[in-house]
Chains A and B, each alone.
Chain A
Amino acid sequence: MSDPTHLTLVEARDALASKTLSAVELTQAHLDAIVKARALNAFITETPEQALRMAKASDARLARGEGGPLEGLPLGIKDLYCTKGVRTTAASRILDGFTPTYESAVSANLWRDGAVMLGKLNLDEFAMGSSNETSAFGPVVSPWRRKQGEGFDSAKIVPGGSSGGSSAAVAARLCLGATATDTGGSIRQPAAFTGTVGIKPTYGRCSRWGIVAFASSLDQAGPIARTVRDAAILLRSMAGHDPKDTTSVDAPVPDYEAAVGASIKGRRIGVPQEYRLNGMAAEIASLWDEGVKWLREAGAEVVDISLPHTRHALPAYYILAPAEASSNLARYDGVRYGLREPGRDVTEMYEKTRAKGFGAEVRRRIMIGTYVLSAGYYDAYYVRAQKIRGLIKRDFDEAFARGVDAVLTPATPSTAFAHGEKGSSDPVEMYLNDVFTVTVNMAGLPGIVAPGAIASDGLPLGLQLIGRPFDETTLFSLAAAIERAAGRIALPAPWWNETK
């Protein structure tokens, strides 16, 4: 058999079922690819022994005909998910030495269904970032490179963030799929930057229990994969009710895979004019138009809609998310886990521990969050931002009430940029990456990104579809139609392989 890392998750599943490949062989091929790809820095922790142990158990279950839906399929886990007995860092120094004594609900669902863990994937520190450059374990390098003449530019490209290890590993074929999380775009923007598929499901679809919290009213788990069908299969296993997360929804999980390939005839797609930003790059606008054409050709009806409060979403997010983060990150105090710096008294111990343990972006967001929650500013900033969040959600509610099934938008305002290129002097420059994705978190809706084209710089571009609450099924059908029309993106050949 040719290189098993080139299989999609579906193809690997079929190969295991027909016994043309064993789970151990499939896992070993990925472990070998991971070792050779260390230059990408996609993994914080590799777990080869555990992977092979799990693969062996999968082969035994498959031989007995007892395989689960993900039996023997090797995955990467974003290092924001707590994994029992395996170091979990959130890409922060402050969790130094932390080894959870419990397993996150979502990763536990994956192991229940037979998946194999290859290791823990790099991310922006506490998922705060859009380029994976804020990780305490160093930035992730995208497998993609910019075109220059007949060859490639030498600049290292970002894989997006915060789930940059997940997107890079999936695009570089280091795993069949990966878990990720999305608070303002952290699944969808990295997927767009790497030519992969990412879905942030509806708030409440996946349990947040055991995932290191950033902004609890916005955080959701979801997968990144190489095809829409692969993402559908992963989400079905990840999703579900969990009594330990009171915001997780007690509703059956549909068979998302069945939605892939379903007809989209007669579906009504809204195109929001407010997303057509001044100075929008011509390539972004033309891909968006192309997306409209593809969906029309597949039988959908496309209508213009208005989401008038769109432009306020990003500023309101940069009040609400830091406010929640400042509260959630109060737990890192040097007492119960992680780093501790000695101090003369308990306050100095807290202050020194947190100054040393948190990176610059995390410190900034905690401070902004603390400020907007402090006496005298709470109503002017925090409560006002919550009201604006209500207006943003109302915009979507009204569009859906008028019969729109889903909304089509660009995924990102540009292709991926190079390391160090954005946000070094002004943090807001980096925040603007999430301008098309953040509204979805504010309204709690599902959003999927699928690759649409390769831009003139040689880097991929994605399209985003936003759905009604808990209607991920429609998003999978629509994204599959885009994928079919756009054609599968050819992922980069492994220039990163270390030669021994």
Chain B
Amino acid sequence: MSVDQAIVRRIAHLSRIAVEDAEVERLRHELNAILGFVEELSSVDVEGVEPLTSVLPMQMKKRADVVTDGAIKDEILANAPAREDHYFVVPKVVE
């Protein structure tokens, strides 16, 4: 499988990364180089193999459903590029 310029633009938008028109062809070439590299996997026999999602044969630990942290609004907002009182500020989302 390979991608064309329209798919490159679509992936860029899904990734929320702006691309200049001049970049699209180079990106298409690079993404296709990677897709070409992984192409051989389509011929591997994976019949009956379970997808591996965790290398550890262990149950995920659960903790009590109680508040263990909090009241650190200033810390959470400390690195925000734009804030007002205890809110993150973003451009208008709904007209």
**Which residues of A does B touch, CB under 8 Å?**
97-99, 101-102, 203-204, 217, 243, 246-247, 249-250, 309, 312, 315-316, 318-319, 326, 330, 333-340, 342-352, 354-355, 358, 363-364, 366-368, 370-371, 374, 377, 380-381, 383-391, 393, 426-428, 431, 443-444, 469
Contact = CB atoms under 8 A, between A and B. Distances in A.
Contacts of A354: 15-18
Chain A to chain B: the 6 pairs with minimum beta-carbon distance, closest first: A444-B55, A386-B51, A337-B79, A340-B81, A390-B52, A355-B18
A13 to B, nearest CB: 33
Interface string B67-95: 00000100110111110000010111100
B62 to A, nearest CB: 8
16 contacts: A101-B75, A243-B63, A249-B56, A249-B58, A315-B37, A315-B38, A315-B40, A336-B76, A349-B90, A351-B18, A364-B34, A371-B7, A374-B11, A380-B42, A386-B51, A469-B56
A315 B35 CA distance: 9
Interface residues of B, number: 53
A343 B91 contact: yes
A336 B13 CA distance: 21
A371 B81 contact: no
A428 B34 contact: yes
A370 B15 contact: yes
Contacts of A426: 30, 33
Interface of B: 1, 3, 7-8, 11-19, 27, 30-31, 33-42, 44, 46, 49-56, 58, 60-61, 63, 72, 75-76, 78-82, 88, 90-93
A367 B56 contact: no
Candidate in B7, B50, B61, B92 with the most chain A CB atoms within 10 angstroms:
B61
A351 B41 contact: no
B41 A315 contact: yes
Q: Main SS of chain B's interface residues? A: loop
Contact of B11 (A315, A371, A380): A371
Nearest to A429: B33
A389 B56 contact: no
A246 B37 CA distance: 34
Contacts of A390: 49-52
A366 B51 CA distance: 22
Contacts of A246: 60-61
Contacts of B90: 335, 346, 349
A338 B56 CA distance: 34
Contact of B56 (A204, A316, A350, A388): A204
Contact of A374 (B14, B40, B58): B14
Given A335-B90, A427-B33, 4 more contacts: A337-B80, A368-B35, A374-B14, A428-B36
B17 A339 contact: no
A391 B46 contact: yes
B37 A247 contact: no
Contact of A393 (B11, B13, B55): B55
A18 to B, nearest CB: 42
A339 B81 contact: yes
A385 B41 contact: yes
Contact of A427 (B12, B30, B58, B82): B30
Contacts of B54: 217, 247
B38 A319 contact: yes
Contacts of A389: 51-52
Nearest to A322: B34
Contacts of A366: 15, 17
A443 B76 CA distance: 36
B19 A355 contact: yes
A478 B21 CA distance: 54
Contacts of B91: 342-346, 348-349
